[in-house]
Chains A and B, each alone.
Chain A
Amino acid sequence: MATTKKKTAAKTATKKSASKTSPSKKPAKSPAKSPAKSPAKSPAKSPARASAKSSAQTAKKSGLPKDFMSAPINKGLSKEAKIDLYRTIIGIRRFEERSLRAYNQGKIGGFLHLYIGQEAVAAGIVSLMEENDHIITAYRDHGHALAVGMSMNECMAEMFGKHTGCSKGKGGSMHFFAPDKNYWGGHGIVAGQTPLGAGLAFALKYKGLKGCAVCFLGDGAVNQGAFMETLNLASLWNIPVVFVIENNGYSMGTSLKRSSAEENLAHRAEGFDMEWEVCNGHDVFEVREVANRAMVRARDAHKPFLLEIRTYRYRGHSVADANHEKYRTKEEIEEYKRTKDPVNLIREQLIADGTLTDGAAKKIDQEKKDEAEAAAKFADESPVAPRSEIQTDVYWEVDNDTDNKLKGTYFFND
């Protein structure tokens, strides 16, 4: 009993000190808990939106409801740039829907972690990338891949295990890479990518390049040791990395409440003397507004940042997760879809501000459906890599040994 009491006391203290730096009184628990209660455009009512170190500034702002579309970073967007955001978001949605069908047809094997519901996060952040910015993420990686400009064909073909896939069928759904687009994967081990994200940023600093690395991870991934080690290292060495926790409320079947003692995940930054902020992930303009601050700071001041973005996934953890309506209610899912769907939201926003007509929006939607359909056909008709390819792309030196100079045996089959 005594132990339990002590524990509770300690917990309360943590929350108290956290809320001291936070302008809001009641920390939000999970985006899923009260999806309807915090309207999209009002940061004031979104209780978790807070910045520890710029709290004065945020407090000033937080008194007013905010239209993120008119924030400086968004106001200057051209019509075409805004339409591009819509195109990316709807493109991810249609690609994911088509890949789900392919999975159900048995064309895609293994795991399929769909990004449906989270589209505005990748789309928003990637739209802020500059020449020397790099990104890296976990296994829920299709959205980021399409956002950086990877083609639906190469992505779909990868999942079909085909030679025309982005990794020649050697990586699969969880392991998409496009170094030429500053996209470094696609990583299957929870939080395994987080030290690499810091490493990308370390290299920028080492080489004297102005840029940042954005490293995405899930709300479950925050509890991995490697991530916590990396937070410390990033802050200690002033590495320009922005960690983006895509907090969709669940790690597989475990709700945030059941996995993290302090549910405000970004507060962990405090322990590492790092800046942090929390925002919603369904409005791409909000994502851009907040992430821009983090990325600018990383680039300009060589400082890391921990950004928690509250989002939601509509489908199960992976397509194989048939239980996802057991650990959360149907109502919870429907409520989010009804009030916060990122695709609907940007469409409405762009129609309202005259960027798009309903017809133009439908046309883009249809184009993306067609593109996804064509990608499935492309993937289906593509060949599997020849068996000889099993042993290529293992060692750079072997692949590039054109004049046969290498010594010794590299592969050990009889």
Chain B
Amino acid sequence: MPLITYREAVKQALDEEIQRDENVCIMGEEVAQYNGAYKVTEGLWEKHGDKRVIDTPISEAAFSGLAIGAACLGVRPVVELMFMSFSYVAFDQLFNNASFCRYMSGGLMNVPIVIRGPANGGTNVGATHSHTPENMVANHPGLKVVCPSNAYDAKGLMKAAIRDNDPVFVMENTLLYGQKWEVPEEEYIVELGVANILKEGTDLTIVSHGRCAIISLQAAEILQEKHGINVEVVDLRSIRPLDEETILNSVKKTHRAVLVEENKPFCGVDAQISHLIQFRAFDYLDAPVHRVSAIDAPQIYAKDLENWQIPNEERIIEAVLKAMK
């Protein structure tokens, strides 16, 4: 299997879907002629032209809303936000219109759009460019959200998202764009709502998503080597819909859980998971559920401090050791 970058995987998904369905188009700032702020769409404009790969002015509300209106008539726009942080200036369009039009029309409408772009900290850019709003998206019935942690999932989930008939947010990660994973050449899809067990284990379950799942996996390896603790790592992949059964089955097996995410803790995704575990696996627990989230402050600029603010191996290991006591 070829080793390709996360960035290349996303691009392949977009390229293949543009070719598969004439209604799929990409729009966003710098996606066409500039080749993408993160080069995710590099070459696509040259290959597919102005109609399918569209540069927009810096008007997130207008082009997000335009995508919704276009979706009413069968276009299937993939909207790139240069950073998911910028969804905030399109909030009404995404969180009122994309999410609720179907409901408010009693099911007469649906909104098949994809909103994609990086949603991560750890890039030394301060609070305005470091949001991880998957929890906010998941808080809006009508929206779906996935957070691929690797190139294989990025490609498979992107294709699933584009073919989905509801609005789907795909939260990517700039720190993963350059990393490589094995990705098959033949066509595949990663369905929404299916978690992935990155590492099987017996002593404790880490539930995580996005890049934190990869860090959790690294922490699990250290825990195995240095502490003899055999951790199972569940990568959610999809936040809404959520694979509750995989989480519960794992916790019922290991009896302990540490939840790791880059979100700020209050009403983060893991607040919901924590509730799920205590409600549906209470009798199986040998320890309280622990959480590792971003340290609860606006994202700090200073690089060293930011690297401590968002979850890292050290903080994850510390939490696991506590939960094992």
Interface residues of A (CB under 8 A from B): 134, 136, 165-171, 175, 177-180, 184-189, 192, 194-204, 206-207, 213, 225-226, 229-230, 232-233, 236, 392-397, 399-400, 406-412, 414
CA distance A190 to B270 in the complex (A): 34
Interface residues on chain B, size class: 35 or more
Nearest-neighbor residue (CB-CB) of A180 within chain B: B108
B147 CB, min distance to chain A CBs, angstroms: 14
Check if B75 sits within 8 Å of A202, measured CB to CB. yes
Check if A407 sits within 8 Å of B108, measured CB to CB. no
State which of B69, B107, B108, B109 has its C-beta within 8 Å of the C-beta of A197. Answer: B69
B165 at the interface (CB under 8 A from A): yes
State which of A184, A187, A394, A414 has its C-beta within 8 Å of the C-beta of B72. Answer: A184
Nearest-neighbor residue (CB-CB) of A395 within chain B: B166
Check if A168 sits within 8 Å of B241, measured CB to CB. no
Instruction: From known contacts A185-B105, A195-B65, A394-B142, infer whether A204 and B73 are also in contact, taking CB-CB under 8 Å.
Output: yes
B71 at the interface (CB under 8 A from A): yes
Q: Which of A175, A180, A393 has the most CB of B within 10 A?
A: A393
Enumerate 15 A-B pairs (CB-CB under 8 Å) in ascending A order.
A167-B104, A167-B106, A179-B72, A184-B109, A188-B96, A192-B97, A200-B72, A207-B74, A233-B62, A233-B66, A396-B110, A396-B112, A396-B165, A396-B166, A408-B243
CB-CB nearest 10 A-B residue pairs = A199-B69, A408-B193, A195-B65, A408-B241, A393-B107, A167-B106, A196-B69, A229-B62, A203-B73, A177-B105
B238 at the interface (CB under 8 A from A): yes
A29 CB, min distance to chain B CBs, angstroms: 29
A183 CB, min distance to chain B CBs, angstroms: 10
Instruction: From known contacts A185-B104, A206-B75, A230-B65, infer whether A195 and B93 are also in contact, taking CB-CB under 8 Å.
Output: yes
B203 at the interface (CB under 8 A from A): no
State which of B93, B102, B142 has its C-beta within 8 Å of the C-beta of A192. Answer: B93
Check if B272 sits within 8 Å of A412, measured CB to CB. yes
Check if A166 sits within 8 Å of B67, measured CB to CB. no
Check if A407 sits within 8 Å of B193, measured CB to CB. yes
CA distance A267 to B13 in the complex (A): 44
State which of A169, A204, A213, A395 has its C-beta within 8 Å of the C-beta of B144. Answer: A395
B218 at the interface (CB under 8 A from A): no
Interfacial chain A residues near B191, Cβ < 8 Å? 407
Check if A195 sits within 8 Å of B61, measured CB to CB. yes
Check if A233 sits within 8 Å of B59, measured CB to CB. yes
B235 CB, min distance to chain A CBs, angstroms: 14
Check if A198 sits within 8 Å of B103, measured CB to CB. no
State which of B63, B92, B241 has its C-beta within 8 Å of the C-beta of A409. Answer: B241
CA distance A277 to B200 in the complex (A): 68
Instruction: From known contacts A195-B64, A232-B59, A408-B194, infer whether A206 and B72 are also in contact, taking CB-CB under 8 Å.
Output: no
State which of B101, B110, B142 has its C-beta within 8 Å of the C-beta of A185. Answer: B101
Interfacial chain B residues near A136, Cβ < 8 Å? 69
Q: Is the interface of B mostly helix, strand, loop or mixed?
A: mixed
Interfacial chain B residues near A232, Cβ < 8 Å? 57, 59, 62
Check if A199 sits within 8 Å of B105, measured CB to CB. no
B281 CB, min distance to chain A CBs, angstroms: 13
B178 at the interface (CB under 8 A from A): no
Nearest-neighbor residue (CB-CB) of A166 within chain B: B106
Check if A199 sits within 8 Å of B164, measured CB to CB. no
State which of B71, B93, B104, B193 has its C-beta within 8 Å of the C-beta of A406. Answer: B193
Interfacial chain A residues near B165, Cβ < 8 Å? 396-397, 400
Check if A195 sits within 8 Å of B57, measured CB to CB. no
Interfacial chain B residues near A201, Cβ < 8 Å? 69
Interfacial chain A residues near B277, Cβ < 8 Å? none
Check if A202 sits within 8 Å of B106, measured CB to CB. no
B320 CB, min distance to chain A CBs, angstroms: 26
Interfacial chain A residues near B69, Cβ < 8 Å? 136, 184, 195-203, 213
CA distance A94 to B240 in the complex (A): 45
B25 at the interface (CB under 8 A from A): yes
CA distance A177 to B97 in the complex (A): 13
CA distance A410 to B165 in the complex (A): 14
List 12 other contacts, CB 8 Å, given A170-B103, A185-B101, A397-B164. Answer: A165-B106, A177-B108, A179-B108, A185-B105, A206-B51, A392-B107, A393-B107, A396-B112, A397-B166, A406-B193, A408-B238, A408-B241
Instruction: From known contacts A200-B70, A408-B192, infer whether A186 and B104 are also in contact, taking CB-CB under 8 Å.
Output: yes
CA distance A230 to B93 in the complex (A): 12
B84 at the interface (CB under 8 A from A): no
Interfacial chain B residues near A197, Cβ < 8 Å? 69
A378 CB, min distance to chain B CBs, angstroms: 17
A150 CB, min distance to chain B CBs, angstroms: 11
Interfacial chain A residues near B59, Cβ < 8 Å? 229-230, 232-233
Q: Which of B69, B110, B112, B165 has the most CB of A within 10 A?
A: B69
Check if B97 sits within 8 Å of A187, measured CB to CB. yes
Check if A200 sits within 8 Å of B93, measured CB to CB. no
Interfacial chain B residues near A179, Cβ < 8 Å? 72, 105, 108-109
Interfacial chain A residues near B144, Cβ < 8 Å? 395
CA distance A170 to B105 in the complex (A): 7
B237 CB, min distance to chain A CBs, angstroms: 10
Q: Give B106-121 interface residues, CB cut-off 8 Å to A.
A: 106-110, 112
Check if A233 sits within 8 Å of B103, measured CB to CB. no
Check if B75 sits within 8 Å of A226, measured CB to CB. no
B244 at the interface (CB under 8 A from A): yes
State which of A213, A226, A392, A396 has its C-beta within 8 Å of the C-beta of B61. Answer: A226
State which of B65, B102, B141 has its C-beta within 8 Å of the C-beta of A199. Answer: B65
Interfacial chain A residues near B240, Cβ < 8 Å? 410
B245 CB, min distance to chain A CBs, angstroms: 8
B256 CB, min distance to chain A CBs, angstroms: 22
CA distance A166 to B104 in the complex (A): 10
State which of B25, B63, B102 has its C-beta within 8 Å of the C-beta of A395. Answer: B102
B266 at the interface (CB under 8 A from A): no
Q: Which of A168, A203, A399 has the most CB of B within 10 A?
A: A203
B188 CB, min distance to chain A CBs, angstroms: 15
B143 CB, min distance to chain A CBs, angstroms: 9
CA distance A69 to B93 in the complex (A): 40
